[in-house]
A and B are shown apart, each in its own frame.
Chain A
Amino acid sequence: MNYKLIFSISKSMLLARLRQTSVAAIGVTFSICMFITLLSFMTGLNDLLDGLILNRTAHVRLFNEIKPNDKQPINTSADFKNTYNFVQSVKAVNSRKELYNSEAIMNAVKKDDRVLGLAPKISAPVFFNGGSVDIAGVINGIDVEAESKLFFFNDYVVKGTSIDIKNVSNSIVLGKGLADKLLVNIGDVVQVITSQGEQFPLKVVGIFQSGLNDIDKVQSFASIATAQKLLGKNNNYITDIQIKLHDVKQAPEIAKEYSQLFETDAEDIQTANSQFETGSSVRTIISYSVGITLLIVAGFGIYNILNMMIYEKMESIAILKATGFSGKDVQLIFIVIALTIGIIGGLLGLLLGFSLSSVIDQIPFNTASLPTITTYPINYNPKFYIIGAIFSVITTFLAGWFPASKASKVDPVIIIRGK
């Protein structure tokens, strides 16, 4: 096979009708560009919504649930071993929210290589004294560095600096809604009343805005030491251990394992946020259907353009065949033409898609609920670019293959006599 000749014929045919070639290539470019841009934008939005939950939620949370004991005394008695015992009106007693042996648990979890990191937490219900009224709220004692690293706490502190709750003693970061209700700002002091009835003054060093109003109206953050002091507990007191995993899908399995291993309650993110799971998967399905639809539409467009292009060249096909080129030669010529259009158009489409995404990435997008987001989100996933590239090559190949193989099979005389 004389490939050099095939390539040079293809090249001449492409260049001779540069305008037509460009139109075909632009068709491919446009389709691929739209595919990349839309999918980047849609999945960007999805990731943003997912991030709202995923970023600040532990994959596995270890804690002690307040609940009646499973092992009621009567069941441990040897006398009633072979009977079925009904105990009514069981109540929870001794509501210790503390995680026993938290130090040892944390050391063990840290050694697990499925775990990305952990952040200990104390949550304490309190009242904030705002003049004549008391406002119910929660103080979370956190390790601010771990919290920032794993749950992007920093991103949500819209005023002041988060690290101050560690550096300034007796300090607090208030949720924005809470601060508004209390009419306090950075530098002010709020009075906190614990559930034991003790009152503490805490200095406001930051304002926190999560984007979820219900949270911002009740939540506040202090260092672990401050929270322990507030509750009058020693420095081993921890109520929650929040764990982030490398792979979120392992959460249910690991939660189960830890619950048995450490004899605590363990909740995985899938259970804690089942409605989020559904929403997220529905959105993913929508993105994929839009992506597939775009590709199918693009595919037909590309096929049509190339089909027309080849039928316009029927006369040339007949001449080539009359002068001794075989059907296979003709087919190869048109496949080279189609692939050239596909590769050039596709590459341009990827570039243009990237540029268009970057432009969208610059468009301001300000919303009160998302303080960290300033522009529309774009997901620059290389997967889209790979799919786009493969798709443009495959469709142009097929779009060249079918009409070309049909053209290669007819006797040249059919075309010539048809004139």
Chain B
Amino acid sequence: MSEIILQAKNINKSFHDPITIPVLKDISFTVNKGEFVSVIGKSGCGKSTLLYILSTMDTDYQGELFIDNETMTNKKEAKLAQIRNQKIGFVFQFHYLLNEFTALQNVMLPGLKLKKYSEQEVEHRAMERLKKLGIEQLALKPANQLSGGEKQRVAIARALINDPAIIMGDEPTGNLDKRNGQIVFDIFKQLAEELNQTLLIVTHDSEFARNSHRIIEMEDGRIIKQ
């Protein structure tokens, strides 16, 4: 049996705005090391909500979450930040780079925060990742001068900088045209196949999903197929 990276146990979440609406109902599943999992479902079924909980960015839920066999539930904010820094790479639908910094600096920041490597090493590792994503020539450009596809690749490079246990993405190709979407998909596929990188990606793109290892389908806050 392969190693479990992520485990969700009976996760429930409701919004209370202004009346209580349950959004996630009893979600339980596991993701093994090296798996490329995509999550699909109709708009509004709770995919983003689930992903934010799994990435520890949202702590307001019931149930239990394990990452790398460590419980995330009821952990302190600073501890969760440290786990996000070290173990989770996140890629948003919108690119969410820091416009105050260059592409390279954006990639380096989580690495500098982790402090596992010296600044030179972090820079070297960041350049390596930009190269792998084919955008090393953009390293010194300010983030706000990049195209959407370029930004998304910088965001993936950033997600990779600390060799995370799992990369999560919320419609990372949703905002890109077909060609750029294909490039990003190929990158994920390559990461999964060559580096045995674990991936959990929310998508609307059924072709994208079909090409991944495993599909989790959601409807109305429940997992109906996995």
Which residues of A line the B interface, CB within 8 A? 2, 5, 9, 12-13, 15-17, 315-316, 318-329, 409, 411-413, 416-417, 419
Contact (Cβ within 8 A) A12 B101: yes
Contact (Cβ within 8 A) B100 A12: yes
A327 to B52, CA, bound (A): 17
Contact A322 to B57, CB < 8 A, known contacts A9-B109, A316-B100: yes
Contact (Cβ within 8 A) A326 B81: yes
Contact A324 to B84, CB < 8 A, known contacts A5-B112, A5-B113: yes
Name the residue of chain A whose CB is nearest to the CB of B95.
A319
Q: Answer yes or no: B128 CB below 8 A from chain A CBs.
A: no
Q: Answer yes or no: B48 CB below 8 A from chain A CBs.
A: yes
Partner of B58, one of A2, A12, A411, A419: A411
Name the residue of chain A whose CB is nearest to the CB of B58.
A413
Contact (Cβ within 8 A) B110 A412: no
Contact (Cβ within 8 A) A16 B100: yes
Contact (Cβ within 8 A) A327 B92: no
Please indicate the chain A residues that have their CB under 8 angstroms from the CB of B58 in the complex.
411, 413
Contact (Cβ within 8 A) B78 A315: no
Contact (Cβ within 8 A) A326 B78: yes
Name the residue of chain B whose CB is nearest to the CB of A2.
B115
Contact (Cβ within 8 A) A323 B109: yes
Name the residue of chain A whose CB is nearest to the CB of B80.
A326
Which chain B residues (58-101) contact chain A, with CB distance < 8 Å? 58-60, 77-78, 81-82, 84-86, 90, 92, 94, 96-101
A266 CB to nearest B CB, Å = 71
Contact A324 to B96, CB < 8 A, known contacts A411-B57, A411-B58, A417-B52: no
Q: Answer yes or no: B114 CB below 8 A from chain A CBs.
A: yes
Contact (Cβ within 8 A) B78 A327: yes
13 further interface pairs, Cβ-Cβ under 8 Å (given A16-B99, A320-B98, A322-B96): A2-B112, A5-B109, A13-B100, A318-B96, A319-B98, A323-B84, A323-B110, A324-B82, A324-B110, A325-B81, A329-B113, A411-B57, A413-B52
Name the residue of chain A whose CB is nearest to the CB of B94.
A419
Q: Answer yes or no: B189 CB below 8 A from chain A CBs.
A: no
Q: What are 14 inter-chain pairs, A to B, with CB distance below 8 A?
A: A9-B109, A12-B105, A15-B100, A17-B100, A315-B96, A320-B109, A321-B84, A322-B84, A322-B96, A323-B84, A323-B158, A326-B77, A412-B57, A413-B57
A86 to B109, CA, bound (A): 99
Name the residue of chain B whose CB is nearest to the CB of A415.
B57
Please indicate the chain B residues that have their CB under 8 angstroms from the CB of A323 in the complex.
84-85, 90, 109-110, 113, 158
Please indicate the chain A residues that have their CB under 8 angstroms from the CB of B86 in the complex.
324
B166 CB to nearest A CB, Å = 14
Please indicate the chain A residues that have their CB under 8 angstroms from the CB of B84 in the complex.
321-324
Which chain B residues (21-54) contact chain A, with CB distance < 8 Å? 48, 52
Please indicate the chain B residues that have their CB under 8 angstroms from the CB of A327 in the complex.
77-78, 81
Please indicate the chain B residues that have their CB under 8 angstroms from the CB of A5 in the complex.
109, 112-113
Which residues of B line the A interface, CB within 8 A? 48, 52, 55, 57-60, 77-78, 81-82, 84-86, 90, 92, 94, 96-101, 105, 109-110, 112-115, 158, 162
A412 to B109, CA, bound (A): 17
Contact A325 to B98, CB < 8 A, known contacts A2-B112, A411-B60: no
Contact (Cβ within 8 A) A417 B48: yes
Top 10 A-B pairs ranked by shortest CB distance?
Answer: A324-B85, A16-B100, A326-B81, A326-B78, A413-B52, A413-B58, A413-B57, A323-B110, A324-B84, A412-B57
Please indicate the chain B residues that have their CB under 8 angstroms from the CB of A325 in the complex.
81, 85, 113
Contact (Cβ within 8 A) A316 B98: yes
Please indicate the chain B residues that have their CB under 8 angstroms from the CB of A320 in the complex.
98, 109
Please indicate the chain A residues that have their CB under 8 angstroms from the CB of B90 in the complex.
322-323
Contact (Cβ within 8 A) A321 B100: no
Please indicate the chain B residues that have their CB under 8 angstroms from the CB of A315 in the complex.
96
Please indicate the chain B residues that have their CB under 8 angstroms from the CB of A12 in the complex.
100-101, 105
For A13, A322, A409, the residue with the greatest tally of chain B CB atoms inside 10 Å of its CB is A322
Please indicate the chain B residues that have their CB under 8 angstroms from the CB of A329 in the complex.
81, 113
Please indicate the chain B residues that have their CB under 8 angstroms from the CB of A419 in the complex.
94
B111 CB to nearest A CB, Å = 10
Name the residue of chain A whose CB is nearest to the CB of B52.
A413
Please indicate the chain A residues that have their CB under 8 angstroms from the CB of B78 in the complex.
326-328
A221 to B168, CA, bound (A): 96
A409 to B94, CA, bound (A): 23
A77 to B90, CA, bound (A): 110
Name the residue of chain A whose CB is nearest to the CB of B77.
A327
Name the residue of chain B whose CB is nearest to the CB of A17.
B100
Contact A416 to B82, CB < 8 A, known contacts A2-B113, A324-B114, A411-B59: no
Name the residue of chain A whose CB is nearest to the CB of B108.
A5
Please indicate the chain B residues that have their CB under 8 angstroms from the CB of A324 in the complex.
81-82, 84-86, 110, 113-114, 162
B64 CB to nearest A CB, Å = 18
Please indicate the chain A residues that have their CB under 8 angstroms from the CB of B97 in the complex.
319
A12 to B100, CA, bound (A): 6
For A327, A409, A416, A419, the residue with the greatest tally of chain B CB atoms inside 10 Å of its CB is A416
A325 to B106, CA, bound (A): 13
